[in-house]
Structure 1
């Protein structure tokens, strides 16, 4: 049995170890809390930069630097014993004063569709720090013209969804052009189809150019040559009826979301009806908006009123690889435009060029 004095001695001897372990645990908790705080601040800075990029399109570096400076001064105020709420209120008051001062010294300028120089100069300022600054004048003019083409000046609103950005690796950045219409990264379904169609009437289809498929399991028994020929004739008649429906409504070009086999393609060529297949849904919507047409889900619903109209549809090839694209120009609704970017490093050029679209007609 240990006496009370011996127990006290044991406690006294173990106290330094207990104190050391407690201090070590406290330090670990302190470092852990600081590390977690650093992670949260990093996430906050990332979200701040993303918000700046989404809302304005420029100044992502500046807003992070400014936020870091504000946090640094806030830490000094906290070390003096000032409550965080008071620091936040002071920053809000300073923000209001800064905005009021900017509004007082701001200079408003007038612009019109015939005088866009002030907007071009503003856009050039946005591009000065980007990799495309060597040809910022031409790119700024393209961006301003694209935005003004889709802008509603009365409502002071810009629908950027009407601006399509397309790119093709090759050429020079100076070859970038603005197309008052839609550019489709496809080619005519047959190499012998016409490469240029004037005053085109476009049938925009989301239904496949093929016979309907049964929704249940089926089986076809063909044991004679006559049955095979009969099946082939029925299939060819179905294709011929679909092509005839397009011809009857006056369509001179078919743009289809789905594909079709070689037999249907040959029939389209034979009936002198150019076609483009495997066009994406987003591109179909833009084509419908630009040409004033309607997307047709079934051949039975195809009417002359649903055809889109374009002054010129042409196929153009690029470079030594002969990549082909479809230009749909002089459309009924000229508010839909396409910016076609050329360059060696396409993704890098695209990411920086998209910053131009921060322009707002306010």
Structure 2
């Protein structure tokens, strides 16, 4: 039950009562009316995302209050940028975000499935079935579907020798994205990045070792995987060398500046001699700092803070290249990649705390001569950076989101290396299995089972519709062929290749991702069906 904040007042006898704001504009929804309101709001949001599903799905252009434009078909991003006021709509936003956090892919499908389940629930409520029976029936049907997914899944060995198979899975993930024109290259980049950082014995992937960096300019085909760290910085002085080999790095969080007086004290300079003395003191301190770094054996200083022109000049004259204003996350990644230690004080800098790498170079982009610094051939080569390129900021951002989905799905295969086949094949097979289970039930739950089976068909229906096919005819043909041929790999031919066999077309999806979609959608629908009381302004139900 949701109540709008109000004010507590007291009558002449001291008894409290609540004064609700805008009480004349509010109405209370209870029972079936509240459930219908929730279902209506959720279906509206699901219908928005439905057209973005699949390789032929359409993109959405989102404009923020500040005028920033985002073009994407990633479900989690669309919902995050939508201005959703309805409480149930916000639950759907959290649903997509949960799928994105857990798996990284399938965010559109999970919202479409939740909307289809709620649509079927509305039909059952109209028949007079209690919402609790509907929710429990959906939960049991979901368990049947998940068990069937386990039975039709196939083992998918993940190791250095199965790189080509992993690329095919990543290409399935990227098939609906903006990067589709070069999705083979993007898939290779994502797979190589995961294999570089994955611990295949423990079946674990440390995402902290992977950094996705974007740079506007050039073509999308110019994107690359760097076995090291890329930072959007340059050498602090233009005359410092652009390429360094066999580098020893000092990773500093202390600034190149002389010590300052405390806030309670003042430094009064009253004559030229005192100014010269202060100037000499600062110069000596600068030199002491630079020489401490050089004496430790460092050939490159990476500093989190900035330093002024005098310190920059002294660094150049002492032959110590330096990079300034490097962010905290980049500092940590550099320390992991090079095997160095982050040093907070110059006095603590010793040779054993230096990082090492084989090559540090500056990359220059396009006619604008924008530069980035690349640290390669690191002692810990597991740290990698994906450098995404594109003609404008929108393309670069969407490429980063797309590659993130591919990275996440390959990671999920490392942790659980079983797969099912996409194109709606797994959903159709589960729908047939749940429908068969419904025929064996004598209780009221068979209605919920059949409704769940119909909801699972929303995914292949949307895929066919977005591909310009006849949805009902296409789905009916696939269902009949799956039953007749006992082939669970038949799905929707979205790309018009002439074959419905998703295994032959290499349309592969992670079992973990598919099971997570069904589980999360069912849990959310069950939660919504148990909310039968809400107080809200009359004009906020839409």
Q: TM-score, normalised by structure 2?
A: 0.60
Output one character per residue of 1:209-237: Cα deviation in whole Å (capped at 9) or x when no partner: 00011123433343433322222111111
> Which of the residues 51, 54, 58 maps onto 2:98?
51
SS for the counterpart of 1:115 is: helix
Match of 1:42 among 89, 95, 105: 89
Q: Deviations over 1:328-355 (max 9, x none)?
A: 0000111111000000232232222321
Residues 162-197 of structure 1, C-alpha deviations (whole Å, 9 max, x = no match): 101111100000000000100010010100001111
**Where does residue 7 of structure 1 map in the other structure?**
none
- Specify whether residues 223 and 85 from structure 1 end up closer, same or farther in structure 2 by C-alpha distance, changes over 3 A only: closer
Counterpart-to-counterpart distance in 1, 2:348 and 2:275: 31
The C-alpha deviation readout for 1:89-115, integer Å capped at 9, x for no partner, is 211111111111111111112232133
Aligned residue for 2:397? Answer: 347
Q: State yes or no: 1:332 paired with 2:379.
A: yes
Structure 1 position 28, deviation (Å): 6.0
From the CA coordinates, give the structure whose radius of gyration is larger. 1
Deviation, 1:55, is 1.8
Residues 28 and 332 of structure 1: CA distance in aligned 2, closer, same or farther (over 3 Å): closer
Separation in structure 1 between the aligned mates of residue 172 and residue 274 of structure 2, nearest angstrom:
73
Instruction: Tell me the distance in 1 between the aligned counterparts of 2:372 and 2:176.
Output: 32
After superposition, what is the alpha-carbon deviation per residue over 1:303-346, rounded to whole angstroms, capped at 9, x for unaligned? 00000001001112111111111110000111111000000232
1:94 aligns with: 141
Contact kept? 2:159, 2:200, Cα under 8 Å:
no
| Equivalence for 2:512 | none
Residue in 1 that maps onto 2:406? 356
Q: How far, CA to CA, are the matches of 1:280 and 1:234 in structure 2?
A: 30
Structure 2 counterpart of 1:153, from 200, 204, 214: 200
- The 3-state SS of whatever aligns with 2:302 is strand
The alpha carbon displacement at 1:30 in A equals 5.4
Alignment of 1:293 onto 2:293 = no
Deviation at 1:270, TM superposition (A): 0.5
Q: Distance in 2 between matches of 1:93 and 1:327?
A: 53
Render the CA deviation track for 1:123-171: whole Å, top value 9, x for unaligned. 0000001111110100000001111111111221111111011111000
- The reply on whether 1:198 has 2:226 as its aligned counterpart is no
Whole-angstrom CA distance in 2 between matches of 1:154 and 1:81: 54
Over 3 Å counting, the alpha-carbon distance change for 1:134 and 1:218 in structure 2 is same
Aligned twin of 2:291: 244
Structure-2 residue corresponding to 1:308: 355
TM-score (norm 1): 0.88
Structure 1 SS opposite 2:371:
strand
Give the corresponding residue for 1:214: 261
Which deviates the most, 38-47 or 261-270? 38-47
User: Aligned pair in 2 of structure 1 residues 219, 61: CA closer, same or farther (>3 Å)?
Assistant: closer
Paired positions, count: 337
Residue 234 of structure 2 contacts residue 371 of structure 2 at CA under 8 Å; is this kept in 1?
A: yes
Return the alpha-carbon distance in structure 1 between the equivalents of residues 177 and 171 of structure 2. 10
Residue 54 of structure 1 deviates from its aligned partner by 2.0
Q: Is the 8 A contact 2:252 2:345 kept in 1?
A: yes
Give the drift of 1:35: 4.8
Rounded to whole Å, the distance in 2 between the matches of 1:223 and 1:208 is 28
Residue 357 of structure 2 aligns to a residue in which SS? Answer: strand
* Residue of structure 1 in register with 2:274 after alignment: 227
Match of 2:364 in 1: 317
What is the RMSD of the two structures over their aligned residues, measured on CA atoms? 2.0
Q: 1:124 aligns with which of 171, 175, 193?
A: 171
